[in-house]
């Protein structure tokens, strides 16, 4: 029942490879679940002459746009489709309202988001250290 209810407030979106869903620093307004295809999460590293550094590749069953899940969230990285993709997309405000009313589902989603954040933090450190070592 909860899964049906949360699906009803989202929508499917097909996007073409090369589409940028959001740029680092912009207001985060959507939360994504990849159904098919692939997204690249990257950040600009000033220490590498503004070259984007890939933090993660996000594929089917994985989420992106977690910055939209906290008040006034801004994207911490750029999200770009590297393949034609099908996403399930939620408006952040509608999703917030749903999760406030459905605490059990909210807790499970929060656990998933925290897991993703932790993995991406490690990936960011590793990627940036690799860039530093390559540019010595």
pLDDT tens, 11-34? 999 999 999 999 999 999 999 999
CB atoms inside a 10 Å sphere around CB 87:
25
Which of 26-30, 44-48, 69-73 has the highest average model confidence (pLDDT)? 26-30
Measured distance CA(123)–CA(44) in Å, rounded: 14
Res. 50: pLDDT tops 80: no
Query: Domains in the chain, ordered, with CATH?
Result: 2-134 (2.60.120.10)
User: What tokens does 114 get?
Assistant: 């925290």
pTM: 0.83
Kindly indicate the confidence band of residue 119, based on its pLDDT and cuts at 50, 70 and 90.
Answer: confident
């Amino acid at each position: 029942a909860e899964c049906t209810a949360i699906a009803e407030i989202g929508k499917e979106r097909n996007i073409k490879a090369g589409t940028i869903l959001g740029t680092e620093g912009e207001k985060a307004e959507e939360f994504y679940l990849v159904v098919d295809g692939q997204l690249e999460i990257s950040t600009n590293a000033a220490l590498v002459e503004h070259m984007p550094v890939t933090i993660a590749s996000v594929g089917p069953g994985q989420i992106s746009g977690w910055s939209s899940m906290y008040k006034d969230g801004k994207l911490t990285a750029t999200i770009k489709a590297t393949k034609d993709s099908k996403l399930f997309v939620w408006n952040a405000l509608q999703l917030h309202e749903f999760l406030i009313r459905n605490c059990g589902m909210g807790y499970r989603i929060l656990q998933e988001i925290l897991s993703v954040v932790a993995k991406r933090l490690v990936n960011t450190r590793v990627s940036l250290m690799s860039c530093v070592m390559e540019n010595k």
